[in-house]
Structure 1
């Protein structure tokens, strides 16, 4: 029990700090999208969306899956006190993705006209693609390098760079450039500057957590073959996962006008807000999997898996209820022309709710336990399904078809991963605590729905705030009345001790 308590204590500390960063980061990112939508309008905002999607695909290939590989091997080398290999690994986390990013960046730069005109039929997209091509090596190194620091089971450096510095710098510069009339060009240059600044910060924090990385007294050992053998399959799997996330927007850009892409982007970005709690827990949970699995502590691993998954689902459910009840009000923040995306927003939010449970953690269970090829098989199967559904549905139903195809794909892959974890590791992610969560959510939804129907005389933004607050209050109160699980009490007791509210 003492060992379990110690691990839970670390989970709470790391996830709590990460969650605070996630809240601020999400606010920066969402505010950036809202302001750019205001300034640029739905059509130019749609072009910006397409440019950033192409960038994310290019950055994913440049990373080569190393953002997962470095977390695993940092945890292993740190536990073994193998400083020479740890130093080599940290350097590889910066240099390898940068070199790869140069190759993919040059390729994107030279083919930007072909992609903009030949694929999307939007020649005005070309300058944006050339700018993000330059940003590729910097962005890839930032991602891999800063994720490597989480292998030390320390969340703060990733929060500083990934959650705070990068989105804030992008927000500040993008809004400044677009306000003075630089439009699409200014928005994409802002991202280039942001990733360069963030890379400098990543190198500095890597040195602060492991000073030997710049010490001439320790000669690094590079296990490149082992690292790439583990990471590359995950890279392909991440590509397939990104395909599932962005196929809808890319195909909308191919089949439909740019304005529709912009509206769909607003809906999809709003739905992604629901991943806030899951990402916070995953940040500290991922290196724990590798550590516990390598030590053979499967019972403790299963306990943390179930608890973290249930917390993620329970914290995400009220966000989903708010989207269902006030979806049109939320999109109204972007502008009146964006409100027609309210139904696709609800469908996409449903997919993210499915991801918030055990399925969202199962992918990390498979990767960190060395079953990356099994994860890859699931990714491939679902990516093919998603592409097929989008090709079938988007020409007929536009944004609605894209949302349904993506929602089905996300639900399917999470169910498959839950099954894979159970069959391979004999660990399942559910317990009876979910019944309490669903009961409280149902009651909160009914109250929120009737309240919003009654508040027709109130300005939409005030109605949104009042309805959301009511749903949160009712939901939280009901969960508290129904009681907490034993694992919850352990964690809350640790939190109380850390805050000085309870005695040790």
Structure 2
């Protein structure tokens, strides 16, 4: 069991790295080539697509993972979920296509009308791909999931965007190319799924085995999971459409999404560690080993902070240089947006993987309640701030929502068992590193106006930061673990 879990996790990790890179590069190429105006239109299409997919799946991506493992014959579960999701996707896809003009009128951006039509047509296809991913997870087929989701779907999406850039396509043509990649991915994914999934190629296995009782039971279980698990995604999606509604300017949406998408890279380390950390913390909590729980929580937080802090300081200090050189000249206005968003994410990192720790101690209702309050708080703040401050108001609303939910998580953990993420080595190394950066920034920032100069400054600071981190932020016990790990790697290399 443990070896199967480890092997599956390694496959998923490789797939996620490839998929994340493909998605980021797709956005990057589109943003640079189309500029904020065209990219903003594409973002509104992507956002509407993502919202509707979350709705039509009804949380089945999590519900099937749990329920299929409990059933001797999961075919009725899969069939019931497939009929519901695919039917909803067809209805909402047609509705979006027919009402695309009304949606664009509401947000005051008529140019998005044909793009919404493209995304409406492809909604059933992308729903099928997302559904297959959930079924692969339920059957514990990590390879199938990675092949369909990461390599076929996301890989073809990247090729479509690159192809559009090469041929000099306009925004609508790129939307068509991306939609075509989804349809093509479906064509490739169906034979893969029918070979790997026990349901096979018989249509009645996918459709004919559905029954009302199974559908109701699965939906009752899955919808609360949808509400809890998709709130953070809906926060960014709501930002995009509230910006469009209040500003009626797709260029502002493009700048905001580019900054937000880039800012999310800061929390990749925390997300990865949380994925691996939760079962460890959960086991320690079940055994009542709360001192070891606290120690592991603080160690993981310290390492995440030490590895993330220099990226945060460099990106905030030189946000204008970074954004303009990555996305192009039309995105200079996103520098302050990126700084605000990064600060919200950095607070999350400083407070540790508190959501995972709450999950480990069984406080899932608190997670759901906090996320719900944060989501509605974000919407209210957007409504108040966007008309006055524009995209800066949207960034401030998101950062405030992140701060609110992370403070709630951390206070709950402390009340539960005085669990907190702060350690003395983290404080010492962090303060020294921040002080060093501030001094260097004060002396050299006015002279840094190119990528080469920024890179040299960043390299020198990173070397100094690593020296500080290893001198002040690593305990003797951790040094021993690190040295044993290095010796083990050297031994494997020498044995090759």
Report the Cα offset of residue 30 of structure 1: 3.1
Q: 1:112 to 1:452 in 2, by over 3 A?
A: farther
| Cα distance in 2 for residues equivalent to 1:312 and 1:154 | 30
The residue that corresponds to 1:252 in the other structure is 243
The residue that corresponds to 2:103 in the other structure is 115
Equivalent of residue 467 in structure 1, options 457, 477, 482: 457
| Cα distance in 1 for residues equivalent to 2:374 and 2:350 | 18
| Cα distance in 1 for residues equivalent to 2:79 and 2:86 | 11
| Cα distance in 2 for residues equivalent to 1:201 and 1:487 | 47
The residue that corresponds to 1:345 in the other structure is 338
Q: 1:105 to 1:252 in 2, by over 3 A?
A: same
Q: 1:160 to 1:242 in 2, by over 3 A?
A: same
Equivalent of residue 184 in structure 1, options 171, 174, 187: 171
User: Aligned with 1:84: secondary structure?
Assistant: coil
1:54-84 Cα shifts (integer Å, max 9, x gaps): 111111112212333344456xx3xxxx562
Report the Cα offset of residue 278 of structure 1: 2.9
Q: 1:215 to 1:240 in 2, by over 3 A?
A: closer
Equivalent of residue 336 in structure 1, options 329, 333, 343: 329
Q: 1:97 to 1:306 in 2, by over 3 A?
A: farther
Superposition map of 1:422-433 within 5 A:
426=417, 428=419, 430-432=421-423
| Cα distance in 2 for residues equivalent to 1:207 and 1:302 | 43
User: Aligned with 1:259: secondary structure?
Assistant: helix
| Cα distance in 2 for residues equivalent to 1:51 and 1:129 | 5
User: Aligned with 2:318: secondary structure?
Assistant: helix
User: Aligned with 2:474: secondary structure?
Assistant: coil
1:451-502 Cα shifts (integer Å, max 9, x gaps): 752643xx62223333333343332332222353557865885686477459
- Segments of structure 1 that go 5 or more residues without pairing to the other structure are none
Superposition map of 1:381-460 within 5 A:
381-420=373-412, 426=417, 428=419, 430-432=421-423, 434-436=426-428, 438-439=430-431, 441-443=433-435, 445-446=437-438, 449-450=441-442, 453=445, 455-456=447-448, 460=450
Q: Is the 8 A contact 1:153 1:284 kept in 2?
A: no
User: Aligned with 1:428: secondary structure?
Assistant: coil
Q: 1:283 to 1:163 in 2, by over 3 A?
A: farther
User: Aligned with 2:122: secondary structure?
Assistant: helix
| Cα distance in 2 for residues equivalent to 1:197 and 1:138 | 9
Whether 1:69 aligns to 2:59 is: no
Report the Cα offset of residue 317 of structure 1: 2.5
Whether 1:49 aligns to 2:40 is: no
Q: 1:362 to 1:310 in 2, by over 3 A?
A: farther
| Cα distance in 1 for residues equivalent to 2:436 and 2:355 | 28
- Cα RMSD (Å): 4.2
Report the Cα offset of residue 314 of structure 1: 3.7
Name which one, 1 or 2, has greater alpha-carbon Rg.
Answer: 2
Q: Is the 8 A contact 1:360 1:414 kept in 2?
A: no
User: Aligned with 2:390: secondary structure?
Assistant: helix
Aligned residues: 482
The residue that corresponds to 1:29 in the other structure is 23
| Cα distance in 1 for residues equivalent to 2:329 and 2:118 | 31
Whether 1:136 aligns to 2:129 is: no
Q: 1:182 to 1:494 in 2, by over 3 A?
A: same
Q: 1:376 to 1:291 in 2, by over 3 A?
A: closer
| Cα distance in 2 for residues equivalent to 1:99 and 1:364 | 38
- Segments of structure 2 that go 5 or more residues without pairing to the other structure are none
| Cα distance in 2 for residues equivalent to 1:29 and 1:336 | 22
Q: Is the 8 A contact 2:358 2:364 kept in 1?
A: no
Q: Is the 8 A contact 1:175 1:187 kept in 2?
A: no
| Cα distance in 1 for residues equivalent to 2:192 and 2:461 | 40
Equivalent of residue 220 in structure 2, options 229, 248, 265: 229
